[in-house]
Chain A
Amino acid sequence: MLSMSTNNLSYNDQGGSDSAVEVGQETTPTSSSNAGAGFGLFSTNFKKNDDLKEMLESNKDSLKLDAMKRIIALIAKGKNASELFPAVVKNVASKNIELKKLVYVYLVRYAEEQQDLALLSISTFQRALKDPNQLIRASALRVLSSIRVPIIVPIMMLAIKEAASDMSPYVRKTSAHAIQKLYSLDPDQKEHLIEVIDKLLKDKSTLVAGSVVMAFEEVCPDRIDLIHKNYRKLCNLLVDVEEWGQVVIISMLTRYARTQFTSPWREDGLFDENSETAFYESDEKKTENEDEKKSYMMDPDHRLLLRNTKPLLQSRNTAVVVSVAQLYWHLAPKHEVGVITKSLVRLLRSHREVQYIVLQNIATMSIQRKGMFEPYMKSFYVRSTDATHIKSLKLEILTSLANEANISTILREFQTYVKSQDKEFAAGTIQAIGRCATNISEVTDTCLQGLVLLLSNRDETVVAESVVVIKKLLQTQPTQHSDIIKHMAKLFDNIAVPMARASILWLMGEYCERVPQIAPDVLRKVAKSFTSEEDIVKLQTVNLAAKLYLTNSKQTKLLTQYILNLGKYDQNYDIRDRTRFIRQLIVPNEKSGALGKYARRILLAPKPAPVLESTYKDRDRYQLGTLSHTINTKASGYLELSDWPAVAPDQSVRNVEVIEPVKEWAPSLGKTGKSKLSKSSDDKFYSDSGEEEGSGNSSSDDSSSSEESSSEVESDEEKSSSQSSEESDKSSSQSEKSSSESDSEQKKKTTKKPPQKKTVKPTAKDSDSDENGNVAKEACSSSAEETSSGSDSGSDSGSGSGSDADSHSGTEHKKKTKSKAKPKMEVKSTKEVSLLDLDDFTPTPVTRPKMSVLSPSLLGDLEGLSLSNISSTMQVSGPAFVPEKSHDLLHRMTGKGLSAQYQFPRQPCLYQPSMVSVQISLTNTSDRPLEQIHIGDRSPTGLNMHCFNTIECLLPEASVTVSLGIDFNDSTQAANFQLCTKEDQFSVSIQPAVGELFLPITMTEQDFRQEQGKRLGMNESSATITMAAANTTSQPISRQVATVANLGVVPSGQDNIHRFAGKTASTGAVVLVTVELRGESTALITINTEKSVMGPMLLRDLKRALAQA
Chain B
Amino acid sequence: MIHSLFLVNSSGDIFLEKHWKSVVSRSVCDYFFEAQERASEPENVPPVIPTPHHYLISVLRHRIYFVAVIQSEVPPLFVIEFLHRVVDTFQDYFGVCTEAAIKDNVVVVYELLEEMLDNGFPLATESNILKELIKPPTILRTVVNTITGSTNVGEQLPTGQLSVVPWRRTGVKYTNNEAYFDVVEEIDAIIDKSGSTITAEIQGVIDACVKLTGMPDLTLSFMNPRLLDDVSFHPCVRFKRWEAERILSFIPPDGNFRLLSYHVSSQNLHPLRSASLVAIPVYVKHNITFREGSSQGRFELTLGPKQTMGKGVEAVLVSSQLPRGVLNTNLNPTQGTYTFDPVTKLLSWDVGKINPQKLPSLKGSMSLQAGASKPDENPTINIQFKIQQSALSGLKVNRLDMYGEKYKPFKGIKYMTKAGKFQVRT
Residues of chain A having any CB pair with chain B under 8 Å? 34-35, 37-39, 41-43, 60-62, 65, 69, 72-73, 75-78, 96-99, 101-102, 105, 109, 112, 133-135, 138, 142, 145-146, 148, 168-170, 174, 177-178, 180-181, 184, 207, 211, 214, 239, 242-244, 247, 251, 311, 314-319, 321-323, 342-343, 345-346, 349, 351-354, 356-358, 375-376, 378-379, 381, 383-385, 387-389, 413, 416, 419-421, 457-459, 625-628, 630-631, 633, 635-639, 678, 681-682, 685-691, 693, 705, 708-710, 836-837, 840-841, 884, 886, 901, 903, 919, 921, 959-961
Q: Are A841 and B194 in contact, CB atoms less than 8 angstroms apart?
A: yes
Task: Pull 28 A–B residue pairs with CB atoms less than 8 Å apart, ordered by A.
Answer: A39-B107, A62-B146, A72-B106, A76-B109, A76-B110, A101-B114, A105-B111, A112-B22, A135-B156, A170-B157, A207-B161, A251-B75, A318-B80, A323-B75, A351-B80, A356-B48, A357-B47, A376-B265, A385-B382, A421-B321, A626-B76, A627-B55, A638-B72, A690-B249, A690-B251, A690-B404, A693-B217, A840-B194
Asked, given contacts A76-B18, A76-B109, A98-B151, whether A174 binds B43 with beta carbons under 8 Å apart, the answer is no
Q: Of A112, A146, A353, A413, which contacts B47 at CB under 8 A?
A: A353
Q: Are B118 and A384 in contact, CB atoms less than 8 angstroms apart?
A: no
The segment out of B270-278, B327-335, B356-364, B387-395 that lies at the interface is: B270-278
Q: Are A378 and B72 in contact, CB atoms less than 8 angstroms apart?
A: no
Q: Are B111 and A389 in contact, CB atoms less than 8 angstroms apart?
A: no
Asked, given contacts A174-B118, A626-B73, whether A317 binds B162 with beta carbons under 8 Å apart, the answer is no
Bound CA–CA A353/B80 (angstroms): 7
Q: Are B107 and A73 in contact, CB atoms less than 8 angstroms apart?
A: yes
Asked, given contacts A626-B75, A886-B272, whether A379 binds B146 with beta carbons under 8 Å apart, the answer is no
B203 interface residue, CB < 8 Å from A?
Answer: yes
Q: Are B274 and A378 in contact, CB atoms less than 8 angstroms apart?
A: yes
Q: Are B230 and A247 in contact, CB atoms less than 8 angstroms apart?
A: no
B377 interface residue, CB < 8 Å from A?
Answer: yes
Name the residue on B nearest A313 (C-beta): B232
Q: Are A421 and B26 in contact, CB atoms less than 8 angstroms apart?
A: no
Q: Are B153 and A97 in contact, CB atoms less than 8 angstroms apart?
A: yes
B221 interface residue, CB < 8 Å from A?
Answer: no
Residues of chain B having any CB pair with chain A under 8 Å? 1, 14-19, 21-23, 26, 40-41, 43-44, 46-48, 50, 55, 57-61, 70-78, 80-82, 84, 103-107, 109-111, 114, 118-119, 121-123, 125, 142-143, 146, 149, 151-153, 155-157, 161-166, 188, 190, 192-194, 198-199, 201, 203, 217, 229-235, 238-241, 249, 251, 258, 261, 263, 265-267, 270-276, 292, 321, 323-324, 373-377, 380, 382, 403-404, 420-421, 423, 425
Q: Are B324 and A421 in contact, CB atoms less than 8 angstroms apart?
A: yes
Q: Of A168, A420, A457, which contacts B162 at CB under 8 A?
A: A168
Bound CA–CA A825/B274 (angstroms): 33
Name the residue on A nearest B105 (C-beta): A38
Q: Are B110 and A214 in contact, CB atoms less than 8 angstroms apart?
A: no
Asked, given contacts A37-B104, A387-B41, whether A693 binds B403 with beta carbons under 8 Å apart, the answer is yes
Bound CA–CA A740/B134 (angstroms): 53
Which A residues are in CB contact (< 8 Å) with B74? Answer: 627
Q: Of A41, A101, A177, which contacts B121 at CB under 8 A?
A: A177
The 8 closest A-B pairs by CB, nearest first: A637-B72, A98-B151, A378-B199, A135-B157, A353-B47, A98-B153, A244-B122, A688-B164
Report the minimal beta-carbon distance from A696 to chain B, rounded to whole angstroms: 10
Q: Of A77, A351, A457, which contacts B16 at CB under 8 A?
A: A77
Report the minimal beta-carbon distance from B25 to chain A, rounded to whole angstroms: 9
Q: Are B165 and A688 in contact, CB atoms less than 8 angstroms apart?
A: yes
Q: Are B238 and A686 in contact, CB atoms less than 8 angstroms apart?
A: yes
Q: Are B271 and A921 in contact, CB atoms less than 8 angstroms apart?
A: yes
Q: Are B190 and A244 in contact, CB atoms less than 8 angstroms apart?
A: no
Asked, given contacts A345-B265, A352-B60, A682-B240, whether A388 binds B78 with beta carbons under 8 Å apart, the answer is no
Which B residues are in CB contact (< 8 Å) with A97? Answer: 151, 153, 155
Asked, given contacts A76-B18, A384-B321, A710-B162, whether A316 binds B238 with beta carbons under 8 Å apart, the answer is no
Bound CA–CA A1079/B317 (angstroms): 46
Q: Are B423 and A384 in contact, CB atoms less than 8 angstroms apart?
A: yes
Name the residue on A nearest B380 (C-beta): A384
Name the residue on A nearest B194 (C-beta): A841
Which B residues are in CB contact (< 8 Å) with A351? Answer: 59, 61, 80, 84
Report the minimal beta-carbon distance from A928 to chain B, rounded to whole angstroms: 21
Q: Are B119 and A180 in contact, CB atoms less than 8 angstroms apart?
A: yes
Bound CA–CA A545/B86 (angstroms): 66
Q: Of B23, B123, B239, which contacts A311 at CB under 8 A?
A: B239
Q: Are B105 and A631 in contact, CB atoms less than 8 angstroms apart?
A: no
Bound CA–CA A356/B71 (angstroms): 21
Which B residues are in CB contact (< 8 Å) with A710? Answer: 162-163
Q: Are B272 and A61 in contact, CB atoms less than 8 angstroms apart?
A: no
Q: Are A379 and B265 in contact, CB atoms less than 8 angstroms apart?
A: yes
Q: Of A148, A356, A688, A691, which contacts B22 at CB under 8 A?
A: A148
Name the residue on B nearest A711 (C-beta): B162
Name the residue on B nearest A458 (C-beta): B373
Which A residues are in CB contact (< 8 Å) with B118? Answer: 142, 174, 177
Name the residue on B nearest A242 (C-beta): B166
Bound CA–CA A630/B77 (angstroms): 10
Bound CA–CA A318/B44 (angstroms): 21
Q: Of B48, B109, B217, which contacts A631 at CB under 8 A?
A: B48
Knowing that A145-B119, A352-B43, A385-B382 touch, tell me 15 more A-B residue pairs with CB under 8 angstroms. A41-B142, A42-B142, A43-B146, A78-B26, A97-B151, A343-B230, A354-B81, A383-B190, A385-B423, A416-B192, A625-B77, A690-B249, A884-B272, A901-B272, A921-B272
Bound CA–CA A573/B376 (angstroms): 38
Bound CA–CA A419/B373 (angstroms): 14
Report the minimal beta-carbon distance from A309 to chain B, rounded to whole angstroms: 12
Bound CA–CA A747/B420 (angstroms): 55
Q: Of B71, B73, B123, which contacts A638 at CB under 8 A?
A: B73
Bound CA–CA A943/B118 (angstroms): 72
Bound CA–CA A43/B69 (angstroms): 36
Asked, given contacts A247-B78, A381-B199, whether A98 binds B47 with beta carbons under 8 Å apart, the answer is no
Report the minimal beta-carbon distance from A44 to chain B, rounded to whole angstroms: 10
Bound CA–CA A77/B106 (angstroms): 9
Q: Are B238 and A690 in contact, CB atoms less than 8 angstroms apart?
A: yes
Name the residue on A nearest B70 (C-beta): A627
Q: Are B198 and A181 in contact, CB atoms less than 8 angstroms apart?
A: no
Q: Of B73, B231, B421, which contacts A314 at CB under 8 A?
A: B231
Asked, given contacts A184-B21, A351-B59, whether A689 binds B155 with beta carbons under 8 Å apart, the answer is no
Bound CA–CA A682/B199 (angstroms): 38
Name the residue on B nearest A710 (C-beta): B162
Report the minimal beta-carbon distance from B57 to chain A, rounded to whole angstroms: 8
Name the residue on B nearest A239 (C-beta): B239
Q: Are B106 and A73 in contact, CB atoms less than 8 angstroms apart?
A: yes
Which B residues are in CB contact (< 8 Å) with A352? Answer: 43, 47, 59-60
Bound CA–CA A251/B75 (angstroms): 9
Bound CA–CA A691/B241 (angstroms): 10
Name the residue on A nearest B41 (C-beta): A387
Name the residue on B nearest A184 (C-beta): B21
Bound CA–CA A688/B167 (angstroms): 12
Q: Are A681 and B423 in contact, CB atoms less than 8 angstroms apart?
A: no
Report the minimal beta-carbon distance from A986 to chain B, rounded to whole angstroms: 20
Which B residues are in CB contact (< 8 Å) with A133? Answer: 156-157
Name the residue on B nearest A43 (C-beta): B146
Bound CA–CA A97/B192 (angstroms): 61
Bound CA–CA A178/B48 (angstroms): 28
Report the minimal beta-carbon distance from A241 to chain B, rounded to whole angstroms: 10
Name the residue on B nearest A697 (C-beta): B164
Bound CA–CA A413/B44 (angstroms): 23
Report the minimal beta-carbon distance from A626 to chain B, rounded to whole angstroms: 6
Which B residues are in CB contact (< 8 Å) with A170? Answer: 157, 161-162
Q: Are A78 and B119 in contact, CB atoms less than 8 angstroms apart?
A: no
Q: Of B76, B82, B234, which contacts A244 at CB under 8 A?
A: B82
Which A residues are in CB contact (< 8 Å) with B194? Answer: 840-841
Q: Are A708 and B164 in contact, CB atoms less than 8 angstroms apart?
A: yes
Bound CA–CA A458/B372 (angstroms): 11
Asked, given contacts A311-B239, A637-B73, whether A102 binds B107 with beta carbons under 8 Å apart, the answer is yes
Q: Are B73 and A244 in contact, CB atoms less than 8 angstroms apart?
A: no
